[in-house]
């Protein structure tokens, strides 16, 4: 591997040092090639997602392929403007100089992807990296082997090794990659591994983005449209069998409507997946035995109001709803990342928001209310990565908005122009003139120069 990595580094550095390799036309060509290869092999991608996670073709297309197409199309339509050097005003004291900001690629980028959306979360950051003019090395998750193997084939078909290289393998491969000096690292995964990635990056002072997770609440006040809330929470929570970083991790509902809301969630789950979700082609599976056992351990000692028996041989855990627990319960200590929805109740929205605020900032926050003033107050009061009012998940589907966490839920953001900015260094340039020169900056310094400076720069 190290020899291949050395050759890859040489090839990528050669490409980055060539003017053609960084041109706008070459960037667009790479994005078009990626889109073309994905389009020609959609069926294989959907099959791989089904093998790894039990995703139905519709869910796979909706949450993985269509998101990538949207990102590529936005880059192709806006890249000229995003890449253009931008003139900025210059203070009178620097006149007649001119100032501008020029975006340029960082260089060699490492992208480490997770297993829950193994296609989208590998290739969507790649769009930003390539669009900004970088080369990339990809490391897909070994926990989604079918998608990882197919991704390697897609990369070989779409790109020569100097542009994009993919390394498959276990955690030892990731460790080897992190020993390399990179110009930028983009990681999506758990906070625990994110700390390791950040520590490795610090050794080389490498800038990075961390897309992590956390316990994202869905808060339902008593004035909410309960039918809409139930439908959208049920969809957002149990999409991909709950293995979504922005899934509602727990439900925090006003005590007056809690029973009614849970009944409506049950009704919607029946419509979505039928009486036996294990037989539904639209309900996914847990990615592997380790995570299956982790989730079933969390269920020990609980009495679900909705659910059923997990099936280890099929890595199946039914949509499960649990009530009657408090903040001290193990389900509330870590991100669940599975099809288990704990339900807590509150009596006043203000006290509920304070309870949430005492905990680490979540990656997502969802509030259901018909009162716009309540919504604005909550959004202003709580720190969180992003979220929705009267919906779940969909904020990340808009490429015109940045997606990312805050605090322990992440560092940095991407999607659309934010991706371009994430993978670009903004170079500040002042172009001086030889026609005039301001004498005040040069020694010898005098009291008259000091008086002039104080007069010009003193607070007004």
Alpha-carbon gap, residue 231 to 248, rounded angstroms: 13
Alpha-carbon gap, residue 39 to 121, rounded angstroms: 17
Q: Is 360 helix (H, G, I), strand (E, B) or coil?
A: coil
Would you call 388 a catalytic residue per the annotation? no
Of 186, 92, 198, nearest in space to 137 by CA: 186
CB-CB contact of 317 with 295 (8 Å): yes
Q: Phi first, then psi: give them for residue 372, nearest 5 degrees.
A: -65, -35
Burial class (CB in 10 A: 0-12, 13-18, 19+), 1: exposed
- Write out the E strands in 47-140: 86-88, 98-105, 108-112, 135-139
For helices 42-53 and 24-40, what crossing angle results, to 10°?
70
- Residue among 64, 71, 180, 245 flagged as catalytic: 245
- Residue among 59, 64, 180, 211 flagged as catalytic: 211
Cα dihedral 383, 387, 389, 390, rounded to 10, equals -140
Q: Which residues contact residue 446 at a Cβ distance below 8 angstroms, ignoring those fewer than 6 apart?
A: none
Tokens of 308: 């059923």
Of 342, 393, 346, nearest in space to 366 by CA: 393
Cα dihedral 26, 201, 10, 138, rounded to 10, equals -60
Would you call 245 a catalytic residue per the annotation? yes
Q: Which residues are marked as active site?
A: 211, 245
């Amino acid at each position: 591997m190290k020899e291949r990595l050395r050759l890859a580094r040489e090839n990528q550095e050669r490409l980055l040092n060539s003017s053609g390799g960084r041109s706008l036309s070459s960037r667009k060509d790479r994005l078009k090639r990626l889109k073309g290869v994905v389009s020609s092999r959609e069926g294989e991608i959907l099959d791989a997602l089904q093998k790894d996670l039990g995703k139905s073709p519709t869910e796979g297309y909706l949450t993985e392929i269509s998101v990538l197409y949207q990102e590529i199309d936005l880059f192709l339509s806006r890249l000229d403007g995003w890449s253009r050097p931008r003139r900025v005003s210059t203070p009178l004291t620097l006149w007649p100089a001119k100032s501008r900001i020029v975006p340029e690629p960082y260089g060699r980028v490492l992208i480490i992807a997770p297993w829950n959306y193994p296609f989208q979360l590998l290739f969507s950051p790649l769009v930003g990296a390539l669009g900004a003019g970088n080369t990339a090395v990809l490391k897909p998750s070994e926990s989604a082997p079918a998608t990882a193997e197919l991704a390697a084939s897609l990369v070989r078909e779409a790109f020569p090794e100097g542009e994009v290289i993919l390394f498959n393998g276990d955690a030892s491969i990731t460790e080897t990659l992190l020993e390399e000096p990179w110009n930028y690292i983009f990681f999506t995964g758990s906070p625990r591994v994110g700390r390791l990635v950040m520590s490795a990056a610090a050794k080389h002072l490498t800038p990075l983005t961390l897309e992590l997770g956390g316990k994202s609440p869905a808060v339902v006040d008593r004035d909410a449209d309960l039918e809409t809330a139930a439908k959208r929470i049920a969809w957002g929570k149990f999409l991909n069998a709950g293995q979504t970083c922005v899934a509602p991790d727990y439900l925090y509902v006003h005590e007056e409507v809690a029973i009614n809301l849970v009944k409506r969630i049950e009704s919607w789950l029946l419509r979505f997946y039928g009486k036996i979700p294990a037989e539904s082609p639209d309900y996914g599976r847990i990615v592997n035995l380790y995570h299956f056992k982790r989730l079933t351990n969390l269920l020990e000692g609980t009495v679900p109001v909705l659910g059923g028996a997990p099936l280890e041989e099929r890595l199946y855990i039914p949509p499960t709803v649990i009530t009657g627990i408090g903040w001290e319960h193990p389900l509330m200590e870590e991100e669940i990342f599975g099809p288990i929805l704990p339900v807590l109740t509150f009596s006043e929205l203000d006290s509920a928001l304070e309870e949430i605020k005492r905990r680490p900032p979540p990656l997502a926050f969802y509030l259901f209310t018909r009162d716009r003033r309540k919504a604005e107050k909550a959004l202003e009061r709580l720190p969180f990565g992003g979220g929705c009012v009267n919906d779940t998940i969909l904020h990340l589907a808009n490429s015109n908005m940045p997606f990312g966490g805050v605090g322990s839920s992440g560092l940095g953001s991407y999607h659309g122009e934010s991706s371009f900015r994430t993978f670009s260094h903004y170079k500040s340039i002042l172009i001086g003139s030889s026609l005039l020169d301001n004498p005040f900056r040069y020694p010898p310094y005098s009291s008259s120069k000091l008086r002039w400076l104080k007069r010009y720069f003193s607070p007004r």
